[in-house]
Structure 1
């Protein structure tokens, strides 16, 4: 496994890479980094794939330019990254916001994408705050309250110290937790972590994010693009209702139940994820 950087859009993106063959690009979400995929990509690479795990801009070891760090900023940097590495015949694997980015990229660049696998990402805008469970509603109302969210996330590092461990069934080791802390030890580096919960499309806002998430549903309905939905029980962003919706509306869609898990599935179910990816890829890739 090697680490490298590539210059794009006046900054740089860091990534790790292992294996050879058709490329598989792994995209993380909030508040993680390419480190999330460390126990997945080796097994997929051994099956004959070039596995690339990217640090999103402002996150992990990537550059931290002066940006708003909105979803559209991340979409542009991922697009530039794929073009810089001249990736084609590409399979995308996304977790959390990485799933949204993967679906968007597949929608806009269908000619370079062979398949999309996704887990625990937003597949539909949230119509009403009341549609969220009480715990999630209270959390995201707090972090979207001006002043409160900045204190929790930027000053107290709440997403790394509290949300991340709470979304994993097992207990992270000190070494693992320190690896997740490393990119965000300085409060100034936590702006991307704070921005992400502001981007969740709830009751139509932010309007551009709601439009992107809605448009991504065309990818789920594409009968010619292989897709893989990985979910766990009880899940968090993708629970039973979202799985049922995908069964009803998805085409060319394989759905795999990974077993017990909440949100950060690559931490609890890395072997199951790698096995499901290899089985899925072997059928068409």
Structure 2
């Protein structure tokens, strides 16, 4: 079946979010509950400042194949906003507890982007026996230099975000990530309905703490040291692992530009790459149907022993 044209991208959110108690808060999530397939689950993890909403046009391609789970990360989307620092290790702790509750056993396939990629790779490297495939795009790795993390203009912007007083004004007071960085990372732009959905969790300054913290967690030139060490470990796993991999990339891209896509195509084992065409950072908003159909085909190539008959 041919993919729907990307012009048919819908702003509608066709899922009923569920909630589950996680540690001292709650997390909202999509669960398609495909009862025909009981031994594998597709886990979709978003990044900053989005939510499970970013997968709305992708999951329908995948849900006929596997049960699909897509949480809103803690402090984001419609999940709770506990009084925590929202560092990477905090997110990992809540996500670990969430996955322990929702998918305590069985095989998983990750579909991940941005900070969702860091969290997904981190979990996968610690649960290698459960991971049967990883599809990823615009992913976070240990950036040895600022040049590896993006083009010059983007570097200067993120350096400002990481300057304490300046960053808090830009991201907390001015809400710049929601108002400019997010729509600016989508080639087609966002409709008013899409922008409103993404903006809704961050209407007051206190609610924007997670959005502010994420740029400060980016593992660049060894800092922050703990996040950089974690990223080095999961990146080492990614390079050595034989698990099937699917990498999406676009041009000009942000974290994954032409040179990075070429390098990973030559250095990752068991990898298929898919070039999407024009794209920046939020590829799910520009190419959801292509991503969804490619992920569905990718799942068909995985070891059939994980699927129930």
TM-score by length of 2: 0.88
Note the residue ranges of structure 1 that are not aligned, 5 or more in a row: none
Cα deviation, residue 10, structure 1: 1.2
Q: Which of 154, 159, 165 is the aligned partner of 1:141?
A: 159
User: What is the distance in 2 between the residues matched to 1:113 and 1:214?
Assistant: 19
What does residue 77 of structure 1 align with?
A: 94
Helix, strand or coil: the match of 1:2?
coil
Greater CA deviation, 212-221 or 3-12? 212-221
- 1:114 paired with 2:132, answer yes
Conserved 8 A contact 1:219-1:225? no
Question: Is this contact kept in 1: 2:45–2:52, CA < 8 A?
Answer: yes
Distance 1:128 1:269 in 2: 27
TM-score (norm 1): 0.95
Q: Higher mean Cα deviation, 170-179 or 189-198?
A: 170-179
Higher relative contact order (CA 8 A, sep 6+): 2
1:193 is matched with 211
Pick which of 162-171 and 83-92 moved more.
83-92
The within-5 A match list for 1:223-234 is: 223-234=241-252
Mean alpha-carbon deviation: is it higher for 266-275 or for 20-29? 20-29
Which of 153, 170, 175 aligns to 2:171? It is 153
Equivalent residue, structure 1, for 2:30: 16
- TM-fit CA distance, 1:130: 8.6
Counting matched residue pairs gives 284
Partners of 1:233 and 1:32 in 2: CA distance: 21
Residue of structure 2 aligned with 1:92, choices 107, 110, 115: 110
Shift of 1:129: 5.9
Mapped contact 2:43–2:109 kept (Cα < 8 A): yes
Question: 1:169 is paired with a residue of what secondary structure?
Answer: coil
Shift of 1:240: 1.3
**Is 1:6 aligned with 2:24?**
no
Contact 1:129 1:203 in 2 (8 A): no
- 2:84 paired residue number: 67
Q: Which runs of 5+ in 2 are unaligned?
A: 1-14, 304-309
